[in-house]
Structure 1
Amino acid sequence: MLIRNATLADGRVRDIRIDGERIAEIGEGLDAEDDVLDADEKRLLPGMIDAHVHFREPGYSHKETWTTGSRSAAAGGVTTVFDQPNTDPPTIDGATFDQKAGLAEVSAVDYGINGGVTDAWNPDELLEKPLAALGEVFLADSTGDMGIEADLFEEAVERAEAADVTVTVHAEDADLFDESAKERDDADAWSAYRTAEAEAEAVERACSVAADLGAEIHIAHTSTPEGVDIASEAGMTCEVTPHHLFLSRDDLDDLGTLGRMNPPLRSETRRENVFERLVDGTVDIVATDHAPHTRDEKDAGIWDAPSGVPGVETALPLLLEEARKGTIDYERVRDVTAANVADIFELPRKGEIAEDNDADLVLVDPDASVPIRGEKLHSRCGWTPFEGRQAVFPELTMVRGAVVFHEGAFAEGGGQNVRRSG
């Protein structure tokens, strides 16, 4: 295929020739000896690499499946996902890795599988598998018995460093949660309970342990400017989520328990400061922490509803809307959704539109801004915390040269493990 007249993130208009799975040539006025797609100067971006999703299989397929989750990803311009280990059973040894790998074969997009760390994990088996990363490793009671003690955290970091596997960390210090908030039952009580100080302290502790071991770690879903700054100053990388970039405690009266997640929503001032760090380059990447639950499950009191929101289909469209408005530039969107992710997680043929890279491409019309509607999204859960917000959705998504999504239609399967041998 030849994609003609595509506007790249840096504003250049170029032709892109695709040969098989790879980008073969980038130039101007390339010979049209292949099938031609005229981009008509619309934006062509590298597909988003979402390093943090929960596709819920095995164990919770009523919330999401690899089929529904990966289609939702493709419709949102995501071409690679990293699935987290807290499924049932959790991905903590060779057998559970193989079980999840078998389920993931139906994925419409490329994928990685993260390994988990619990008291029952088998690092000898797990670290022999083609893992995307280790984590998210929990330092709090975020997901039941997935939380671990300090000595096990140190062991996990040491073992992963020796195996050249990135460790991603969920950093919240449960000792700094505000127990007095449990006397409340309003929607803001969860944010009051899981304090910003609890995150900052845990990020500092995790970074200190890693530095003492001569290792590097990646801080997941950083929700506070303090956490972002601590990770950056320590020389570690961090991610932020769309919900922490675009939602705050001010939205909780409308969201109710649909706005409960871990870490929780923060003040509007903190949200603004996190967004500023996204724009100025302090934040390394955006990842969604796509964690769907059914509406029935969310229809509970603030202390009983499960934590988590969907986001894999709306992350890039929300950022593209900000680029359309001029609050962030397209090059920065490219970096935080693709180029930096590929660098952190060592995906040398992904993340950039460059010759010999995988043809993971997303075509968008910057002027096609529409309101987000949960009923039109493709996640099994059928709702979104961003209902009614403006976004720019892709019209075409390609994974390694194959069109997997085009104007509402999907191709079957086709995704591969990014750590596959060879």
Structure 2
Amino acid sequence: MQQVLIKDAQIVNEGKVFTGDVLIIDGIIREIAENISAKSPDVNIFHAEGKHLLPGIIDDQVHFREPGLTHKATIATESAAAVAGGITSFIEMPNTNPQATTIEKLEEKFAIASKTSHANYSFMFGGTNDNLDEILKVDKKKVAGLKLFLGSSTGNMLVDDEEVLEKIFSATDLLISAHCEDENTIRKNMEIYTERYGEDIPINLHPIIRSEEACYISSSKAVALAKKTGARLHVFHLSTGKETELFDNTIPLKDKKITAEVCIHHLWFSDEDYDEKGTLIKWNPAVKTETDRKQLFQALLDDRLDVIATDHAPHTLEEKDNVYTKAPSGGPLVQHALPAMLEFYHEGAISLEKIVEKMCHNPAILFEVEKRGYIREGYKADLILVDLNNPWTVQKDNILYKCGWSPFEGTTFKSRVTHTFVNGNLVYKNFKVYEGLHGERLTFDR
């Protein structure tokens, strides 16, 4: 019997901050109380005075690049970076090589993760214009959901046949997550600027090419289709203030049929940063204006936006160091997402309770993740200890991504993750990821 006792932590959970102890037995939270005495001489005690204890973060959108793109990242390397950032569970996207668009290929990814992941894991099944039969085979209790690329896809994963799209929305009871950008609008914009600049388009035109209009056209169509068919829709990575108008904050999250997320980079960066960061902050959807950034933050606070995620999508520096048309979109974020959000806390822009709600509780509610996302008796002991007053600077020697770089390089964060527990096991402490794989396949209470 393995016992862990966390003493004198400032526990942040379910809208409250309070001092307490947490007892973990065999990976399960067994007791939460003001003062718990060790019940065995073998208990491993962590003295957490001065630190805050949070539920482990559930990141609902990552690209860990395995299989097929492992020169950029692997499930092993990126899950290690994730636990260093307090992310104890992740949901990975289907656009690997081969793509997870059949049950066989999906299960191959689960098999890799079972042997290599430091964090808990699930994977999205990928929809295409011609794999509805495979979609209908997916077990909703064992798979996070269905991912549809309504723009910016790789391979054959762009679902651009409106008849097929309606059939998918009507036929599946899986949670549908969508990347929404209108390809026709983007193509027209690209033609204009390619004619003017050739391949070397200035990077600050990225949010003009992948414009507010492109995002809104696609998001509004997806929302309208979900309303028409009754499908359960989750719109990934909103990037514009205008899109936030499509979402509701008048009902509890558990009752919402249509939800949305915002990602760290759209909360942190704006188009003012392209001159300094260049293609390092080239994402799809694009980082847009300071006004958009502020409107997204407001929609997060007022609950039109339900979840904070990373869309972690690493590329090598060599790949990024290209002219606009050849530089891929995406960047690494899992290690630095929580420290970035805690900077907003220090600025007085958001509370600790709200950060936990959006990064831990709400992903668990939205995806119906079984017994995770909260500090509750009987739940899995996915926990993180955070020191809010322990500054550190992001630099090459403490970046854990396989790609070896971060858009936050040179940034000094006031807060750091000091300890991460996955299923009751200490997997990370002060820039060291411990050997041993403790991640489990996520299950869903549906």
TM norm structure 1: 0.95
Q: Residue type matched to 2:383 in 1?
A: L
Contact 2:82 2:88 in 1 (8 A): yes
Q: Distance in 2 between matches of 1:286 and 1:341?
A: 8
Tell me the residue number matched to 1:303: 325
| SS of equivalent to 1:271 | helix
When residues 295 and 414 of structure 1 are mapped into structure 2, their CA distance, relative to the original with a 3 A threshold, is: same
Contact 1:75 1:313 in 2 (8 A): yes
2:337 matched to 1:315?
yes
| SS of equivalent to 2:203 | coil
2:169 matched to 1:157?
yes
| SS of equivalent to 2:237 | coil
Give 1:373 deviation, angstroms. Answer: 2.3
Root mean square deviation, CA, Å: 1.9
Give 1:48 deviation, angstroms. Answer: 0.6
Tell me the residue number matched to 1:227: 243
The match for 1:72 among 81, 102, 126 is 81
1:23-50, CA deviations, whole angstroms, 9 ceiling, x for partnerless residues? 1111111112232211013100001100
Tell me the residue number matched to 2:90: 81
Tell me the residue number matched to 1:134: 146
| SS of equivalent to 2:248 | helix
Tell me the residue number matched to 2:10: 7
Q: Distance in 2 between matches of 1:69 and 1:191?
A: 28
Q: Distance in 1 between matches of 2:264 and 2:314?
A: 14
| SS of equivalent to 1:41 | coil
Q: Distance in 2 between matches of 1:194 and 1:144?
A: 19
When residues 189 and 100 of structure 1 are mapped into structure 2, their CA distance, relative to the original with a 3 A threshold, is: same
Q: Residue type matched to 2:260 in 1?
A: C
Q: Distance in 2 between matches of 1:125 and 1:168?
A: 16
Contact 2:369 2:445 in 1 (8 A): no
1:20-419 aligned at under 5 Å gives the runs 20-33=26-39, 34-105=43-114, 106-121=116-131, 122-123=133-134, 126-128=137-139, 130-135=142-147, 137-148=148-159, 149-161=161-173, 165-177=174-186, 178-179=189-190, 180-182=192-194, 183-184=196-197, 185-232=201-248, 236-391=258-413, 392-407=415-430, 408-419=432-443
| SS of equivalent to 2:7 | strand
Q: Distance in 2 between matches of 1:215 and 1:5?
A: 45
Give 1:124 deviation, angstroms. Answer: 5.4
1:337-376, CA deviations, whole angstroms, 9 ceiling, x for partnerless residues? 0100000000131111111111100001110132222442
Contact 1:94 1:125 in 2 (8 A): no
Contact 1:97 1:126 in 2 (8 A): no
Bigger mean CA offset, 391-400 vs 290-299: 391-400
| SS of equivalent to 2:333 | coil
Q: Residue type matched to 1:153 in 2?
A: L
Bigger mean CA offset, 141-150 vs 60-69: 141-150
Q: Distance in 1 between matches of 2:150 and 2:77?
A: 30
Contact 1:77 1:313 in 2 (8 A): yes
Give 1:102 deviation, angstroms. Answer: 1.4
Q: Distance in 1 between matches of 2:138 and 2:333?
A: 29
When residues 124 and 226 of structure 1 are mapped into structure 2, their CA distance, relative to the original with a 3 A threshold, is: closer
Q: Distance in 1 between matches of 2:412 and 2:306?
A: 24
| SS of equivalent to 2:156 | helix
Q: Residue type matched to 2:121 in 1?
A: Y
Q: Distance in 2 between matches of 1:334 and 1:237?
A: 18
Q: Percent of aligned pairs with the same residue?
A: 33
Aligned residues: 418
1:156-175, CA deviations, whole angstroms, 9 ceiling, x for partnerless residues? 223331xxx21100011122
Q: Residue type matched to 1:305 in 2?
A: A
Tell me the residue number matched to 1:19: 25
Q: Distance in 2 between matches of 1:235 and 1:128?
A: 20
Q: Distance in 2 between matches of 1:141 and 1:329?
A: 34
